[in-house]
Structure 1
Amino acid sequence: MPELQPRSSLGGIAYLEKGQGEPLLLIHGVGLNAEAWGPQIAALSDTHRVIALDMPGHGGSAAPGAELADYVAQAAALLDQLHIAKANVVGHSMGGLVAIGLALQHPDRVLRLGVLNSVYERSAQARSAVEARAAEIARSGSCGDIEQPIRRWLGAGETPLHAALRGWLSAMDPAAYAQAYRIFATGDRLFSGRLGGLAMPALFATGAEDPNSTPEMARAMAAAAPRGRAAVLDGQRHMMNLVAAEATTRLIRDLLSQPLEACDTKSLRSAFGSFMTGVTVVTTVDAAGEPRGFTANSFTSVSLDPPLLLVCIAKAAASAAVFAAAPGFAVNILAEDQKEVSGIFASKRPDKFAGVDWAASANGQPLIAGSLAWFDCARREVIDAGDHVILMGAIRGFASREANPLGYARGGYVSLGLEQAAVNAASKSHTVVGAIIECRGGLLAERDAATGQMRLPEVGRSGASGTASLLSAELRRKGIDAELAFLFAVFENPETHVQSIYYRGEAAGPAGALQLLPFDALPYEAFAEEAVRVMLKRYADERQQGRFKIYSGNHERGEVRALG
């Protein structure tokens, strides 16, 4: 065991302390003492002020109270006497129950919570077995067969750790041991249904081979806590903080690195959406030989030598297990005219491949017809990554063609197929940005209060030039939740040098501050600009045909080009 600082004592509470920084309180299990955290004290004191206490009746601390609440009160009292307002708290086994009690009773004092090899909602049979052992210890007036828990915790054999545990258990006062064991036998029922009150980041970890503090218990606790995370160490039993000290310490370090404020996932998704990507459909074949696929924009080239790529799939996706187990997969990069294909594979339709033209690759992976490029991959590695799984593939074959890609940004599809001169025009002249937005089968427009004429939603007509982001913000201000999909027209007035850029989009409704005009009776003459009237007539025609194009030119003459 590592050499530790001598114990200190305050108010009958013995403890070890080492290091400086944010406080970390460690609470051991039944029959142990603060030295059971030896490896963690040595490792974590380089960044934290680590305090490991002796629970009541253990080590150098005074005799125990009668209930779990007394152990919780002891931990809170030590923080008070050390003038620590808030601390990270990690408990092992029964110490995990004490840590949970402290976090529930004093949530403002617990920064982050760690619960290692603890118990939750035991079965009646398991609880009765532990209660029987506690009763036997109390009747015998001794600590009983200490070899039995040592074998359960560490397995058979003899190591220095076996000897250390034997020495700690042998030194226990039998009455204090029996009392703590009785509380541990019933304490978990106190928290049944209450873990939803844990607002702080929380870790619930155990060993895969811990028969009493099972992986199922750790996962159930993590699922019940709002910010809970479960971790299971393969091949480990109850004393994993000593047997697998480095791995356990890494789990605690990861907990200590978690932000105190909960992540606003909606805002985070919006921030991620600022990065414009392409769109892919990832495909494979399941064990029954059926094609499976999903839409993804989390696609990255990894290496040229060897040729590697990766994609991500949410663990919640229906096909996540299929892709994780499949020996290979294909990535199809979609072209600009394959928005419908993207929508099909983003849906939960059971027959996604029924309406899509596809063929099998040389290795049997589904390749989507019309894709800009495809990559046929063998599974290289499957990596667990939070709420997603990373699929790394070794590229066995690929092909590509010349066309414009389907783009995606800020929750909507974007067109990259404009002439560079049109794209650069915004930097050379004043720009008006507007949109033709469909809503419940009609067109959204607004009436100019000064002239009484209709106009499309737009920004940049007066003042600074408009942008797509400013237009989206203006629409939200007016109560419109719209998706701006593709560019529809780009034209410049050579006399005024005003550049006009119009998108086409959709809104689910309501119309907010705008008016809803029926497409079969659009009042074209109510719109002041001839260029806008012509654009709307073209839109109505192409809407009936079901195929849109892009106009580029000036306000009088230009070219209409098909997408893709």
Structure 2
Amino acid sequence: MADGAALVRGKAPDGTGFIRAGTGAPVLLIHGVGMSAAIWEPQIMLMQNHFELIAIDMLGHGASPLPPENAGVSDFADQAILLLNQLGLDRVAVVGHSMGALVAQEIALRAPSRVSSIICLNAVFRRPPELAQAVRDRAAALGGRGDPSSIAATIARWFGNPIPADLADAAATARTALESVDAQGYARTYRLFASADTAHVDRLADLSVPALFMTGSEDRNSTPAMSAAMARLAPSGQCLVLSGEKHMMTIASPQKVTQQIIAFLDKVAAVSARAAIDPAFDVIEFRRALGSFLTGVTIVTTIGAEGEPRGFTANSFTSVSLEPPLVLVCIAKKALGHQAFSTSRGFAINILSEDQKAASGIFASKAADKFSSVAWQPGQTGNPVINGSVAVFDCDLEQLVDAGDHSILIGRVHDFTHNGAQPLGYCRGTYITPGLSQDALAAAPPETEVGAILENEGRVLFFEAADGSCQLPAGHGLGAANDARSLRGKLAAKAIDADLGFLYAVWDDATEASRTHVYYRGTVGSPRSGDGQVRFVEIERIAELTIADPAVRSMLTRYVRERTEDAFGVYVGNEVEGEVRPLAKPAPALHSGHG
């Protein structure tokens, strides 16, 4: 450390060792397996004039105590959060290298209010089978303190063999750390590291903070593909690959790495400052509000540079002009297919039908061969046209427009087709199939009890009986307005103008197998006065009503819960037992293009 630097080496009450230096916004630094807080010395020297740096010794490293024998990533995250508490730091940016990057993710997922952003350097994610086995083999073969053969193999893997002259100092620093680390602490941590590459596979979508995933182009163990995959899953993720760098780029090229760290932290701070000026604008709520717009679902296709078909799922499609015929679709700049689509001569937009929900999911995924799952043929311009689509617009690329984190592809329609099939819809993160309710309504037998939960401005319509109990509108079959026994007849008799929407519950009587009950969700106009039997009840007060039918009472309990969560399902079974099936499997965020 440079002379005169305001550096404090400390030990927390629980025995955790740490280094503290600098002034400014606090940044927590977490090293990788076999290192210690001191490995961050280059970053501390470069950042201490603008940031407060806290470099922690992970469990089993430096001055810190050993981790549990079968430790989890959460043990290391808990250690770091406890240190923040002891130092009186409410909110920090977290920078983690290798194993430290996994700990950084865990902290952000467990305590998002404590983290302003994370930077994951050379992080591992879903190792390929052969690489995963190699790491497990190394973990199993670990010897005692300062095992020379293991250290030599690690240094060669990190820096090359022979070590290039310009990396000799960095290799010596890493070797010294490996020779001095506690053997038991190293072994326990490395065993965890060997399996922790899947620790956050299903959780990165919940990583709410800004996240930078940075690695080197030559890192064979924490590959660029891994960082790209994590950045795609994290809602505010970015990927950055440093050309020519390997796994220990933090000490091999500290100037280059630290410049990128500072640039990202400054960018996050600038965005936060703008948000503070206009605190009413909430990005997460903005995304949810956009999701309220019911759209269709498309698969956008093109031909790549090598002649291969490429495609992604999107609902960011709209018409632009009739003369000339122009349409547009958006693709995320971080999408794997962005290069192919932004440099192509054209593309096709395939509007999907209700029967093509599976294809939508596949093209929104990272499947290796998406086109093997669909029947397709070249359109007039050569772009892939998917069979069975409701409509297809085959386009030349008219204009590419830069728009924030997306690119807008404006296409001049060269050819188009369409048919009368039911389109697939998308709203609030869920696929919508409008044909489901229409078909079910038409198919209901006349003796089926058909009822409805009809809502008006946060209230639900009930018919009140003489004894004070309440019933939902229901009748024998859907029927017509002139059929007094049917649902429509009973609504018409009370001058109720209702719109029946989506199927909500279907059940059979446990004792009367021939009796089927079908209930729908819907809306109703403003209440009419003069009919004492018609009652509108606020959703939150439905539980107070007396409802004789236990099956209807149970259904309404579910409705109140799902209405609050804005996530509806369809109940199928009998009045005693059954299951709630989601209207659709929650779908990816289709407004962002996936390559």
Name the TM-score, length of structure 1 as normaliser: 0.49
Greater RCO, CA 8 A, separation 6+: 2
